[in-house]
Structure 1
């Protein structure tokens, strides 16, 4: 696992590039883990940091922290009120449409321990994602016994809501699961990428984050580059 890369810092907030596989903070889900993005960022900048949004463990890319509790509350509210524009890049199975608006409500995914007091009958919540296809490729490998070759797409995703695992679940709903998704994806294609490209991760990158700075009162866009592993996979696939 690579170290955190510092993307942006001022007197109020800091943004880093989180590698795939790194937890944001300590969790009972993996009590044996010793490295966390929150503590690593704190050590990097020399002061306490406050998380303001989620980034799943297998997802890489931009992770934003506040440097004080007031800024944390302001940014958390901006995320909750959909005032932050997020953009992701993903490799998915199949050839996706050139552009598509996914409007598919999602029931909350409950953990049997952490969410044991939550209502399992809570109705599905609205969830919307904008998809744009950036590139397509057909590889001469019969991953599925029904097809002599295998098709993949590189897509840009802009979630308009922030439901748990929204992008992974929306792409699975379209029958275009994200490669490397062990929960909602296709095991045959995940296995193919491990064996053919030595790729053992979810091919999902939080690429761009745009919001209004709560103190400087200016628009701020933070962007990151492709992970080295993701770039290597795309190059071998002919998508980069």
Structure 2
């Protein structure tokens, strides 16, 4: 059973676990446990995807309960008419708040994007980040006697594939547990010393305008035990989304510069 964060007659949102596929795909033809089918069986109703989360990413996943609502929600995502807030644990100390404006060339997966056409041109990609907490632990990684990590809040303005993961690598603060863009030495260190495996990227909050009632809607996903254990180890427990009441700007605006 998945944790249902929000449900009405038009929408349902769940807290997607890390490692789950949103739907069956070429990534794993033999994977039978996927979010869409699990939610369908759980609520006894067909569901429609309106956006995706990478398999290793956890957090808020919104689905529609009709084709028409799915179409409206897909337009909101396409036109950036909602706000998404993620949390990540990254290598190094991040104290500042800043914006990453770094175009990305789409990376196609040999299996998942088997039939997609490669776009050679880099597409605009903008992410905002803010350092929340920092820690230095007495663990030797590489040439250093200690290891530094930060908890960061990430807000993507655009929606390129693996955007947050690639942007954090670009500024030399890769996300812990990222096997594609991360620092494998730190991934191993966190797994070995703190028992925390997998990508430390969580979709914590989603703010949108309800497609039918047109009222502001804020959906938040608490961190799972893996996250909470690491937050306790690092002394960051007070930063958990279910504790700190993070405020999000609910003013939904359209960014016409990126389509």
TM-score bracket for this pair, using the shorter chain length: over 0.9
CA distance in 2, matches of 1:114, 1:16: 23
3-state DSSP of counterpart to 1:30: coil
CA distance in 2, matches of 1:89, 1:105: 22
3-state DSSP of counterpart to 1:74: helix
Aligned to 2:157: 160
- Asked whether 1:237 is paired with 2:248, we answer no
Cα distance, 1:121–1:25 mapped onto 2, change above 3 Å? closer
3-state DSSP of counterpart to 1:195: helix
* Aligned positions of 1:217-228 closer than 5 A: 217-228=214-225
3-state DSSP of counterpart to 1:110: coil
CA distance in 2, matches of 1:239, 1:87: 18
Aligned length: 237
- Whether contact under 8 Å (1:144, 1:150) holds in the other structure is no
- Asked whether 1:183 is paired with 2:180, we answer yes
3-state DSSP of counterpart to 2:27: helix
Ranges in structure 1 where 5+ consecutive residues have no aligned partner: none
Cα distance, 1:114–1:228 mapped onto 2, change above 3 Å? closer
Ranges in structure 2 where 5+ consecutive residues have no aligned partner: 238-259
- Whether contact under 8 Å (2:50, 2:62) holds in the other structure is yes
- Whether contact under 8 Å (1:133, 1:154) holds in the other structure is yes
Q: TM-score, normalised by structure 1?
A: 0.95
3-state DSSP of counterpart to 1:29: coil
RMSD (CA atoms): 1.2
Aligned to 1:75: 73
C-alpha offsets along residues 138-174 of structure 1, whole Å, 9 cap, x if unaligned? 11111121x2211100000000000000000000001
State which of 14, 24, 27 in structure 2 corresponds to 1:26.
24
